[in-house]
Structure 1
């Protein structure tokens, strides 16, 4: 199964109105901005997209709206996060003809399965759909590590084609390449090791802060992939305090607040999440304020 999931992929937020309903107009506007800023694709309904805060019908409506808005201009992947393998498989079946390009599949939510149970979850979904699938391996957040031996089992499923590597251990990228060669497309899923991951062979970057600073994200990817490391390090040093926001427990609220500050969206979230207050809010506001005050002129890199 040939895919080209390379480049910068913002994990977009799901925008809400003040009453908690989905603000489709805001999401469409956000998508247009991101496309104009040169990103390569997006992940809808991931962690930043508050997947588990949406009803089953809202998820299906949202991904249809996203595909209809994008109109094939960039790659659209949908997060698939459900409590059971059956529910995840049903979601995959329901959207496979929507025009979406693939799935980012998470382990079963709530219940943390053992290795055999986790493999069964992924196999069940893969065999239920014709869509290409990206493994989302994030043991830090979801408590399940899809290790090298488990990956070897999943490599037998022809439509499991990519891995979003989020263990925070960059050695895993080398281990995956040593074992599987180019069998999987590898994407970095942790913002504050993005440059390291690209240099170690990740060809894609799934990012939260890319929603807020997409042009800088695209520039970092281009500089790193073209071997312009001195310039990449300069941009990365500026970016690092921002990228840290993607690694804190309240990353969704932090990124949505950042989107609001720069005029790209609203910080509205669904309970049990609440908007940031006090020191947490001040920290995000000060981080964004400093970044804007010290923003690098990207034209100096001559990337066109």
Structure 2
């Protein structure tokens, strides 16, 4: 079958490991279902896989793609949940020490077909297209958990999103606006800030700019480049919710500010199957649609990978079949 995959790890030149070609069809397994992929979205995780981060060398070649939407053999339209846990685990699967994502142990969604545990294929709302559904499982689920499970924000409070145009950031903007928060956003360029404004941000600012007032919560996916600003932006007792560090993890902790102002820092990783089901219902009922910046046929995937590597994103990058 057709697939986009990492042939081998290339830590210093990840795009050199990207291959478009043929891979064996997935073999059926008890309790798993086969999904014919209609659309799949690109995540930063896929670039890390090309570098060999979070995956053992013996697992290559690895079909890329954490997220997707498609059709079961019986015609049911589904959205995929990419967190695959231990069948014996109970509770929040993001805390399962044996959990993996698609592309870490099991082959991913950038292919004609993918197999997943039956519970990982959720009914796709009719209101969402396949391309829109393919954005839900990582970026939008991550944003949903950060905002509604981890932050403790109340409608009317002010949230700051660091970074204006990536998949998680655009999801945070749209979800926050729909939920009644005052949404502020920083962005490196006027173009990226314009994307945020179009999605519903109440105000946008240059990266690192002094804000009109301190905020109740900051949503961090950038890390080193924005951490100091995030700490200074918070009201006493405020919270930073962190789900990534794309600019590097070695941030200045600013511990004096942390304890003196009683700030809180909370980590957040992906989300649960039940949270994804809630997110899908929320998007359908609130008429929310993910911001898709680029949609191209899957055989043109290298162009999408290059755009992500260059930071040239304005929403999600989606590949279609």
State TM-score, norm by structure 2: 0.27
- Greater share of strand residues, 1 or 2? 2
- Greater share of helix residues, 1 or 2? 1
- Structure of greater Rg: 2
State TM-score, norm by structure 1: 0.28
